Structure 1
Amino acid sequence: MELNLIDLFIIGLSLVFLRLWWRYWSATGGGRKNLPPGPPGWPLVGNLVQIILQRRHFVFIIRELRKLYGPIFTLQMGQRTMVIVTDPRLIHEALVQRGPTFASRPPDSPIRLVFSVGKCAINSAEYGPLWRTLRKNFVTELITPTRVKQCSWIRKWAVENHMKRIKTESFEKGFVEVMNNCRLTICSILICLCFGAKISEERIKKIESILKDVMLITSPQLPDFLPILTPLFHRQMKEAKALRKRQLECLVPLISSRRAFVEKGENPNQEMVSPIGAAYIDSLFGLEPATRGPLGEEEFVTLCSEIISAGTDTSATTVEWALLHLVMNQEIQGKLYQEIVDCVGKDGDIKEEDVEKMPYLDAIVKETFRRHPPGHFLLSHAATKDAELGGYTIPAGVHVEFYTAWVTENPDIWSNPSEFKPERFLHGDGVGVDITGTRGVKMVPFGAGRRICPAWTLGVLHINLLVAKMVQAFKWLPVPDSPPDLDETYAFTVVMKNPLKAVIVPRKGIEV
């Protein structure tokens, strides 16, 4: 009997499956690697199908598995081995005490590599010379105290536009959509910091939309766990390449305009507003990492995109959650307004140094980070070599996932953890908490150790300024018959299922 092409294809696929199964079993069978415990899996696919069939978000599954297998456990997700760490002591040990060992990143999926240009990005670069060069350049050029002060006018300009926009929207609609406005404002700040340019709201919205699509398309998909299936997902790869082309077409003109301004002084439409050397992209033009040589337009787009994307989502989401609690609890909002008035007056200009003198504002923002961390997991880590953690062996290169949301929900660490209570950071269990995790892990909204978000201080500044300005100018109230909703959903960050809408009343004429 002759075999047709379909039969040959099935036999060939079966042989490949058997080969991969044997490699998987040889690597993990018999407990020889002393991996942390975990649920038994199926041949080849491990726990992947079991997770998919539950039709629930991964976070809820992790919470249950933690109860069954303890603070550190293993999931075999297809060909991807994932070690889940939930204990604050183990998180601190891995990220801080033994930071260099757990400071790398696991291999990227083919789609992610399209957008990272082969992991040439601060977030995704493996721990080594390239990452050190990119991170050091970023810190030096964007978040030193001198540079932050030099660029304070950008925040002033963007926040003034923000206040005018929400006032207009309130007049036209009767309410304000918080998230959309905050995203637009923070995105405009970051675009100006990156490219030194003031551009129209229409262009900002276009950039924001494209970068949001990039985040969505690079979220985990089936081929990430079973690379053998990648050829069957050629349509997704085609879509990714088309989106990358749109991303380049959107941002390369800004880069070209900035280069012409830096090298020749050209500024035909007066779009370039930052002096030469004050924009992040200026520092990238001459940067030559030892392992890559001079960077090109693709790398410029990737490096600027990651700053805009990461900074916009986390900051805007935090402002929205903070305002939700101020709307729900007018007493907290009243205390914050009183602090602002005591510091700068009813109509005083809130400067960047002023928010540092507002402890109750600081407490509200910290409690927002604790109660609504931007992500329930940190970005995936990987050990640079086989390492021991919690009495188990963590092989080099496996995905080490730190589930940090459990730390902020843990009643052994926080009293009444589901309650939003800023006072805990003034005289309670939050006093002295180190949000960088250096002294211990009670909350780590920005990660910890070597791979902590390098711009976390800048993000906190943007959040503090926006919240203070909005509360000074307006009293925030719920929309009649539409109370704020605490339900969460999961996008790039943990966001509101129903975005916050609020009524604003100008403070002028209102008694303190």
Structure 2
Amino acid sequence: MDLTDVFIFLFALYFLNLWWRRYSSGRSSQCRLNIPPGPKGWPLVGNLLQVISQRRHFVFLMRDLRKKYGPIFTMQMGQRTMIIVTDEKLIHEALVQRGPTFASRPPDSPIRLMFSVGKCAINSAEYGPLWRTLRRNFVTELVTPTRVKQCSWIRTWAMENHMKRIQKESVEKGYVEVMSQCRLAICSILICLCFGAKISEEKIKNIENVLKDVMLITSPTKTQLECLVPLIRNRRAFVDAKESPNEEMVSPIGAAYVDSLFALKPVERGGELKDEEIVTLCSEIVSAGTDTSATTLEWALLHLVTDQNIQEKLYEEVVGAVGKNGVVEEDDVTKMPYLEAIVKETLRRHPPGHFLLSHAAVKDTELGGYDIPSGAYVEFYTAWVTENPEIWSDPSEFRPERFLPGGDGVNADWTGTRGVTMLPFGAGRRICPAWSLGILHINLMLARMIHSFKWISAPDSPPDPTETYAFTVVMKNSLKAQIISRD
């Protein structure tokens, strides 16, 4: 063994010793706490090997553990203590009634930091001044009624392109690949909201692919920077020159999300945001908003293809609002209760995620009679709430009428403020700040697609509701549908 090998060996022993002392100290302190019950684990690895040996998705294991240990239980995943909360009352207590206590995020792993430069992202920032600054800026600059109206040109432009692409693909292939088409349309909207510019379809597809690869950890963040930094610099030059809107930079100065980031100077960052941090903030909007909205649209269309009665009832409502030859505008969808019922039932039956993003308590506290250490990962398993027969009648059935007068969901609050019956956007301090914008995009796209076309099953690809798990809960076999013009 040469000197280098000896050095490496001693270095490894040193860090193993540090890790063991930290682990032992953490376990000792936990033993003194009354943390929720859970399956016994192995030394060092906890329940990690038990989970891997199950050879099935974590979600299904959670359902079994809930039956055995109750509505709140603990899993030890290596050094990570995970407390799983599945009861609607406990979820509401933690996220809404005691929101500030459970509003933080666990410390990020080094791998996650690769995709969130210096934790400068709304979703992953720990609860504190930086998070407040970023979130307040986001809400003010992107989702206020004034800003939404000011940027309506983007949705008009993207919807026109979307409808043309659907028709073209139908002619060329004989069917429409719903997910890919919806992803591209939503991604177009969000990218243009960020940068205030009309961007070519080729560039949008490239950005979509790069962000997807980064999210799946198959592409380095360097590629992400190379893709988005030129857009940031082009917009910065437009703002610095105080130019007027043109064919490329359509949004006036101040109307693009990135404009607000140029002027933002969080005290915690020591001055202006760097290009890398602006890339992070724009990327999280595009990535999170694209997947959740496109997934919801695909699930909704699956049910409309499967049940033509629901589709025709929606079509009649849309025609009643805008006529057979009219164009569905943003204000029109607010007058369509059946459309809203379909979207709500889709989000209930197929929530984009079965868990919320990981939470953490800002201090040692308690929940449900158990101690919750400040360093623990608190995971809210919200899918169970939408499957609970004590809350929903026939929960496995897709029935939009449950959200109309007389239905069991008529008083359901999808923000969780009044009580937890479904939580597609989270709740409390960490609720998705763009949930209303996402609903607008979903409602507008679905209404236009049903108004222009009748959607039917592709003969060789019948709708398959089997789920699989990617960034969101998606169809194992993407929906392919044929369209028939309503003209």
Find the aligned partners of 1:40 and 1:20 in 2 and give their Cα distance. 21
CA contact (8 A) 1:20 1:44 kept: no
SS at structure 1 position matched to 2:119: coil
SS of 2:331's partner is helix
Structure 1 distance, partners of 2:352, 2:372, is: 27
Give TM-score scaled by structure 1 length.
0.91
Distance 2:174 2:244 in 1: 40
When normalised by structure 2's length, the TM-score is 0.96
> What CA distance in whole angstroms lies between the structure 2 residues aligned with 1:350 and 1:442?
31
Correspondence for 1:62: 62
Q: Give per-residue Cα distances to partners, 1:65-112, cap 9 Å, x unaligned.
A: 111111111111001111111000000000000000000000111121
Deviant stretches of 4+, over 3 Å: 2-23, 265-270
Task: State how far apart, in whole Å, the 2-side matches of 1:81 and 1:189 are.
Answer: 39
Shift of 1:482: 2.1
Q: CA 1:67–1:10 in structure 2 vs 1: closer, same or farther (change >3 Å)?
A: farther
1:259 corresponds to which of 236, 248, 252: 236
User: Which residue, out of 337, 344, 347, partners 1:366?
Assistant: 344
Tell me the equivalent position of 2:461.
Answer: 482
Whether contact under 8 Å (2:103, 2:359) holds in the other structure is yes
Task: Give the one of 264, 279, 282 matched to 1:287.
Answer: 264
**Residues 382 and 422 in structure 2, CA contact (< 8 A), matched pair in contact too:** yes
In the alignment, what sits opposite 1:222? none
Structure 1, residues 224-264: CA drift from partner, whole Å, max 9, x if none?
xxxxxxxxxxxxxxx76xx2111111001101110111111
In the alignment, does 2:276 pair up with 1:277? no
The residue matched to 1:400 in structure 2 has which SS?
Answer: strand
Which residue in the other structure is 1:429 paired with? 408
Matched, 1:321 2:304: no
Q: Structure 2 CA distance, aligned partners of 1:11 and 1:71? A: 45
Equivalence map 1:164-313=2 (5 Å): 164-217=164-217, 243-265=220-242, 270-292=247-269, 293-313=271-291
Is the alpha carbon distance of 1:299 and 1:8 closer, same or farther for their aligned partners in structure 2, counting shifts above 3 Å?
closer
Aligned pair count reads 484
| Most deviating of 320-329 and 476-485 | 476-485
1:28 deviates by 2.8
Aligned-pair CA distance for 1:18: 6.0
Other-structure match for 2:331: 353
Identical-pair percentage: 74
Per mean C-alpha deviation after superposition, the further-off stretch among 9-18 and 363-372 is 9-18
- Residue 36 of structure 1 aligns with an amino acid whose one-letter code is P
| Corresponding letter in the other structure for 1:505 | I
Q: Would the aligned equivalents of 2:245 and 2:252 in 1 still touch at CA under 8 Å?
A: no
Structure 1: unaligned runs, 5 residues or longer: 218-238
SS of residue paired to 1:401: strand
Rounded Cα–Cα distance in structure 2 between residues aligned with 1:69 and 1:23: 28
- 1:454 aligned partner: 433
| Correspondence for 2:374 | 396
Amino acid at match of 1:151: C
Residue 453 of structure 1 aligns to which amino acid in structure 2?
Answer: C
**Distance (Å, rounded) in 2 between the aligned partners of 1:3 and 1:273:** 65
Distance 1:20 1:39 in 2: 23
Given that 2:365 and 2:372 are in contact with CA atoms closer than 8 Å, whether structure 1 keeps it comes out as: yes
Gaps of 5+ in 2: none
* Matching residue's letter, 2:240: E
Match of 2:452 among 460, 467, 473: 473
Contact 1:257 1:267 in 2 (8 A): no
Number of the residue aligned with 1:227: none
Cα RMSD (Å):
1.9
